[in-house]
Every structure is written in structure tokens, then in C-alpha cells.
Structure 1
Amino acid sequence: MAAGIGATAQQATAGGGTAAADRQNIADNFDQFLLLLTTQLQNQSPLDPLDTNQFTQQLVQFASVEQQIKTNEMLGSLITSTRAANVSTASSFIGRRIEAAGPQAELADGQAQWTLTLPRAASRAVIEVVDSSGTVVAAETRSLQAGEQTFTWDGRTSTGAQAPDGTYAIRVQARDAAGQPVEVSTTFSGIVDALDLTGDEPVLISGGVRVPLGAVTGVSDV
């Protein structure tokens, strides 16, 4: 019958479901456990008493499972509260200008703009603008100063044609006067016009640029 008690305790740890169903499962199995334990004690042999350590282990197992269910419930409540707070925060960004690290920007009305940041000056920097398929549509070579500076693209391709409005990315390869590579970080700036709330984290949408809420580095009124 000891095996029956062990199996009953194991049943309490197996299976998923909602917290309410899990609590009910624990209660049902614990009732079975007590019934089996009582029957065992009534029928044990005085010459070969049952091992009390086994009973203690089963009781500890039941207590641990119940505690885990309570912990999961609290974590679930915390996640729900956090998500609601994130949604509320994301909603407040609609119609406002945000800044976020990333290579993408939206070309609209013949203009796309990025902020470039360099730790030191670059005497030669090749700046490429690529479309959504990864094709380079425009490129130029210039020097860049140390610190923050704005790079504005007027939408003109390398052939002189006007590129259609949409999302474009920038690639920068820079070197200093000694020919050493210079790291260039790019920042996107745009006005939030929509939200995507389907994922675990809200995503702000500016034109065709998608920015996770956690990636926002600045926000300002238009």
C-alpha cells in the first residue's frame, strides 16, 4: 500500500491546467493520501512498523506542489499587471515623436532622417541606404564628426530617380585618419501612429518602422 501512497502524491505533481483545477486536484489527491495512510496505519504489523520517513516525504511533496501553484498564481497576476501597464504606457506614445536605436527610418514626403553617433571623427565614411529587400538604392562618401549628427536622405536613388515612400535602412562603414574602423551607432526618429499589442511586449509603429517599447530611448511632443 506504500506504493499506492507514493502514486497518489505523484499524481498531484503531474498534469497541467488552470490554477483552480490544480488546487482541486491537490485537494482530491490529498484526501486519497490520508485515506490510504489511515488504512495503512490500521493494518500495519506491530513486528514490522511502517517507515515514518516515507510519510513525511509524501507530506512535504504535497506541500511543495501546493506552494508552487500559489507561486504560479502570483506570477500570473504580476505578468498581467505588467502587461496592462505596458499597454497603457505604449498608448500614451501615439501622436508623439520617439527615438530608438536601430538602422531603419521611414521615407515620407521626400525625406528620411537618422541620427549618427561616433566616438571619434571619421575621415571617410561610406553611407548606404538599402530598401526592404536589402538592395542598396543610394550611397555617398563623406567625413563624419565625433558625437551626434543628423544624416538626411532626400529619397534620391543613385540613378537620380525618386524612391517610393516606405521603410529604408542605413549602413555606415567609417574609418578614422589612421585607417582604423570607427563604430557608428544609428538612431531612428519618427512619430508613432499605431500600436501592435499581439505580442508579449507592445510594439510602436511609425509608418512602416516597428519599435519595441523597450527599445525607445526618447520621446517628445510634436
Structure 2
Amino acid sequence: MDIQPTHPAGTFGAPSAPSAPSLSSTSTDFQTFLTLLTTQMRNQDPLKPMESTQFVEQLATFSSVEQQVEMNLKLDALTASLTAQDAGSLAAWLDRDVAIEGQARYSGEPIVFGRQADLPPSTRLVVRDGMGDVVHDGPFDGEGWSGRLASGLEARHGDYAFELRGPVADGDILIARPAVHSRVVEARADGDGMALILADGRKVAVADITSIRN
């Protein structure tokens, strides 16, 4: 747009641009547009004023940019609020004991299951390794798993799956998957949502948690 000064050169200068807040490029563009518009209005030739149509278009642009700045500010505030809430929800998991049904990591110490409902005397504990192979199948003692294999040797350290099964007429049936508690030492947000790191080294999804205790 043309700016035609009505005073002799050197008698005054264009007003200095107000300092733009470091919010976003949109905010900077808004400040620049506002400065140019006010400068043009102050220095237009009275004999050739700005056409009303052009002036309305520039005011419409001004309003549009202003709304965009306000929207960006609200979006930034909302993002900050959600981030703070996520951080708070992550912290709430720390040092809690959480349980996952049918899964645990053996590291040399006996694995103790959570409290079980009344089970028939014929209940068996079936333990599978990470490949899905059965490494133990025997009477359930009501407490957990000692870490001994069917051969009597100690199991390798690693992740195992547990089932409590009982006999039926044509075989056996799954009665329950016992829960094992472990303490949460870290909580993090990743691409799949919130994940918890347990004291035994496992990484589990919050959706897999079946119970929480202090």
C-alpha cells in the first residue's frame, strides 16, 4: 500500500513499531499489520483519502488476525493445562503397588500371588515361559510359585505366565489367572499412552492393571 506523507520530508518520522510480544509468528504479523495500518491512516493525503472499500477490507483483515492471535493464546493455555494434568496423573502412580493378572517376572525370589477366592482342592498351578511352553504343572499350594521347574531345577530369570486350572469331565478348565503385585518406580507417557515401569523391571500399560494398593 502507498503511504503519501503530507508534510515536508524530514519534519517527522514514521511512528516506531511497538515491541511485539514473543508469543508466535501470528502475533508478530498482527503487530506489524497494526503498525502499517495506523501509519497509513495518519499519513494519507487528505485530497486522496483511502477508498472506503479498501479501508473495510483492511479492517476485516485486522479483525481476522486479532482473532487468530486470541485463539493461539487460548490453545497455548489449554495445552499447558493438559500437560500439567498429565504430569500430575503420572506422579500419582509412583510408589504404588499394582497387580497384573497372570504375569510376573521371576528373579530368584518366590513369587507370591494376591489373595485368591475359595478354590477347589484339586486346583493346579500351570506356569508357562516366555515362549508359551509349560515349565511347571502341579498342585497349587495356595500361596504362589517357588521358582522350581517340573524337573526340580530352578527356573531361569525372566517373565512367566500363570494359570490356576481345575479338572472337568473332559480335561481341565481355567479357574483364574492369579495377580502379582509389584511397586511402580517410574511412570511415563509414550506413543501408546501411559506406561508404568515396575520394580521388577517390567514395563506395563495402565490398562493391564487390575488392582492398586499403597
The normalised TM-score by structure 2 is 0.57
Q: Determine if the alignment matches structure 1 residue 165 to structure 2 residue 164.
A: no
* Structure 2 CA distance for partners of 1:202 and 1:126, relative to 1, 3 Å: closer
Who is 1:195 aligned against? 186
Aligned to 1:100: 99
State the 1:182 CA deviation. Answer: 6.2
What residue is the counterpart of 2:201 in the other structure? 208
Residues 84-106 of structure 1, C-alpha deviations (whole Å, 9 max, x = no match): 42454344x1xx6x123344213
SS at 2:75 equivalent: helix
| Map 1:124-163 → 2, pairs under 5 A | 127-131=126-130, 134-140=131-137, 152-163=144-155
Deviation, structure 1 residue 161: 2.0
Which residues of 2 match residues 25-174 of structure 1 at below 5 A? 25-31=28-34, 34=37, 42-44=49-51, 49=53, 52=56, 58-86=61-89, 88-91=91-94, 93=95, 98-115=97-114, 127-131=126-130, 134-140=131-137, 152-170=144-162
**Deviation for aligned residue 1:111:** 1.4
Separation in 2, partners of 1:155, 1:202: 27
Note the aligned Cα RMSD (angstroms): 4.7
Give the secondary structure class of the aligned counterpart of 1:78: helix
Question: CA separation of 1:60/1:165 partners in 2, compared to 1, >3 Å: closer, same or farther?
Answer: same
| 1:110–1:165 CA contact under 8 A, matched in 2 | no
State the AA in 2 paired with 1:152: G
The yes-or-no answer on 1:219 pairing with 2:210 is: no
Change (3 A) 1:183 1:57: farther
Deviations 1:169-207 (A, max 9, x none): 335778977999768455331244x32557474624221
Q: CA deviation at 1:83?
A: 4.1
CA deviation digits over 1:121-155, x for unaligned, max 9?
A: 8x987834223xx2425242779xxxxx9661221
Q: In the TM superposition, what is the alpha-carbon distance from 1:162 to its structure 2 partner?
A: 0.8
Counterpart amino acid of residue 136 in structure 1: D
Instruction: Choose between structure 1 and 2: higher helix proportion.
Output: 1
Distance 2:171 2:40 in 1: 80
Q: How many residue pairs align between the two structures? A: 184
The answer on whether the counterparts of 1:130 and 1:168 sit within 8 Å (CA) in structure 2 is yes
Amino acid of the structure 2 residue aligned with 1:159: S
CA distance in 2, matches of 1:37, 1:183: 82
* Rg comparison, structure with higher value: 2
Post-superposition CA distance 1:3-41 (Å, at most 9, x none): xxxxxxxxxxxxxxxx723453343354277369968x9
Distance in 2, Cα, partners of 1:60 & 1:205: 53
**Which residues of structure 1 form unaligned runs of 5+?**
2-18, 144-148
Question: Counterpart of 1:20 in 2: which secondary structure?
Answer: coil
CA distance in 2, matches of 1:162, 1:42: 94
**Structure 2 unaligned regions, length at least 5:** 2-21
Moved more, 205-214 or 63-72: 205-214
Q: Percent identity between the aligned chains? A: 14
Give yes or no for contact 1:129–1:169 (8 Å, CA) kept in 2: yes
